[in-house]
Amino acid sequence: MLKRVVIRNFMGITFREITLPPHGVVIQGTNAEGKTSFLEAIRVGLLNVGAKPSMVRKGADESILEFVVDGTEETGDITIRRRLTPDDNNTLTVKDAFNVKITKPQSFLNELLGIAPIDALALWTDAKPRERRERVMSSVPLNIPEADLRALLDDYALEDFVRRKPDGSLDLDRHGAVIIAEIAEAFYDKRTIANRAVKDAEKAAAEAQTALREKESAFRQKALASGMMAGEAEMLNVQVIEQDLSNAQGYKTSLTERLKLAHAANEKTAATKQRIETLNAKRTELRALTWSDQAKADEAAAADAHAVALRVHTEASEAVEKARAALRLAEEHERQARIDLDKRAEQHSALKAQRDLIAKNEADAKAIDEQIDALESAIGAATQAAPGQDEMVEADGKVAVLAARLALAKDAVALRSARGAYDATQSEASRAKQAAELLDTLVHRWQTTIPAEAFAKYSGIPGLSFGDDVMLDGIPIGQLSGRERLQFCIEIARRGNTKSRMVVQDGLEAVAPDILPYFLTQATRDGYQLIVTRVDRGELTFIPIDEFLASHPATSSAILENVA
């Protein structure tokens, strides 16, 4: 409970000091008198909610907010002092009744007071469930243990979702709703990326499907052109066909080599035959010169004549010796015989030279015979049987068929690869879609389900939960009558402040006069303190709740039944 408030140079207040009664006060006055400034001072001073340098009154060096609240039996009354400066210096000091400073003052206050600045009247007048949800969620303190956050994230690491402090530790001292929203936003970003991945994967799958259909169509046409059905063509084995094609190409190459060798051998044989013809002509020419019968007779006659001449010469010589008388005749006979002898000797030498030439020619002819025999043998050895035209055509056809079949087999491999690629893109698209759907579920869970569950579990407001609307004890506010809804809103505000037993409220002027007593009575029952502003004529005044109730008695509570 708040006992005393001192405000210096804060917003529209230069100085204000007030001691608060147990049931609280109605802060009443015209606009711009400082009513809202007083409530803001409480929120900033106690909760550090919405503190800004601009709240320091213009021209002042600092704002001072001092409060005295109920403490515990051990601490006694607690004194709270918050100092704000224009340069954004925000200092909090908390002391107990014995003037001892409290360590971690803000955490101490949060634990001691547990104040939730729920605006019950605004909640009561909010027409839409979503507005009511957001108002309560933004007003209720929410502290979620780190271990619970990690459990909620399941397989995800908390470090990947929550920002860090300058010292590197996780910034988990903030409002739980802020942390949840931060995680939800991170999942939203992941979902955005996942949705793009889905589009990319579906596009890739569509492109792969188009490519596959084109390949299948082209393959069917090629298969038909090869005289095969597509299914049969897909069974072709590349390795087997490559081996068959290699063998066929090798056979064709051997035929080509045989053809080349045959052509070369034929050319060589033709040249050899030409050489043989030349040698035959030469041999014929050599052997044309031979001994004829006349030549042989002439040779014999010459030999006989030579013998006769020799005999005559001998006889003549003897006759010379015997008959000098017949010397002249004998000498003449001798001379004639000598002439005839010389002639016959010359003829004999010529015939001998001719015989020697004929013998030489015969030897040369025999050598030519040997060359001819060798060349004819070479012709036989060099002769190659050229492959037939049919054999060459058949080899060419087989190579062409196998080459076409190999191309078809490779197309079949490419087709199977395209099917595999299509299946892979389909799998990736399915996986991406599942991942996106999971993230979509997580986004919804962290945006809606987890905040509601967290507020119900950790807010400290018994019975508070969220569906599409704010619920208390499982009952949605939108299903209640006017009086029940007002009581509902007051109850949420009270349950949000069970430790401090203090409700801070703005805008009491929105409540009709005949409803005022009910509202004030419900808000302050069971020893709760209400600090509420109300716009009215006159200067700023602080009216104790009890006095205000005495001057505004209830007229008809039945009117509340008709409040919308």
The three-state (H, E, C) secondary structure of 478-524, written as one string: HHCCHHHHHHHHHHHHHHCCCCCCEEEECCHHHCCCCCHHHHHHHHH
Question: Each residue of 74-102: pLDDT tens digit?
Answer: 889 999 999 999 999 999 999 999 999 99
| Per-residue pLDDT at 22 exceeds 90 | yes
Residue 561: the pLDDT is: 40
Instruction: Give the pLDDT band of residue 563 (cuts 50, 70, 90).
Output: very low
Residue 306: the pLDDT is: 67
CA–CA dist 269, 529 (Å, integer): 133
Residue 98: the pLDDT is: 92
| Per-residue pLDDT at 460 exceeds 70 | no
Burial of 400 (0-12, 13-18, 19+ CB in 10 A): exposed
Lowest mean pLDDT across 22-31, 82-91, 339-348, 381-390: 381-390
CA–CA dist 552, 533 (Å, integer): 15
Residue 424: the pLDDT is: 93
How many other β-carbons are positioned within 10 Å of the β-carbon of residue 535?
A: 15
Tokens at residue 476, please? 């949605």
- Averaged pLDDT for residues 402-428: 85
CA–CA dist 562, 564 (Å, integer): 6
Residue 319: the pLDDT is: 62
CA–CA dist 531, 22 (Å, integer): 10
Instruction: Give the pLDDT band of residue 296 (cuts 50, 70, 90).
Output: low
Tokens at residue 534, please? 């109300």
- Distance, first Cα to last Cα, the chain: 32
How many contiguous H segments (helices) and E segments (strands) does the chain have? 15, 12
For 385, phi then psi, to 5°, come to -80, 110
Instruction: Give the pLDDT band of residue 556 (cuts 50, 70, 90).
Output: very low
| Per-residue pLDDT at 267 exceeds 90 | no
Can you say how many angstroms the Cα of residue 117 is from the centroid of all Cα atoms in its chain?
A: 50
- Averaged pLDDT for residues 357-386: 71
| Per-residue pLDDT at 383 exceeds 70 | no
- Averaged pLDDT for residues 351-372: 77
Q: 490 near 496, Cβ under 8 Å?
A: no
Residue 557: the pLDDT is: 43
Residue 223: the pLDDT is: 81
Residue 558: the pLDDT is: 38
Nearest Cα residue to 26 out of 402, 530, 385: 530
Question: Each residue of 42-77: pLDDT tens digit?
Answer: 989 988 888 899 999 999 999 999 999 988 888 899
Query: For 21, left (φ over 0), alpha (ψ -120 to 50), or beta?
Result: beta
Mean pLDDT, the chain, whole residue set? 82
| Per-residue pLDDT at 410 exceeds 80 | yes
Lowest mean pLDDT across 118-132, 212-226, 283-297: 283-297
CA–CA dist 153, 149 (Å, integer): 6
Alpha-carbon separation of residue 239 from 248, 401, 403 (angstroms): 14, 16, 12
Instruction: Give the pLDDT band of residue 324 (cuts 50, 70, 90).
Output: low
Please indicate whether residue 425 or residue 348 has the higher confidence score (pLDDT). 425
| Per-residue pLDDT at 238 exceeds 90 | no
Instruction: Give the pLDDT band of residue 293 (cuts 50, 70, 90).
Output: low
- Averaged pLDDT for residues 27-38: 88
Please indicate whether residue 442 or residue 335 has the higher confidence score (pLDDT). 442
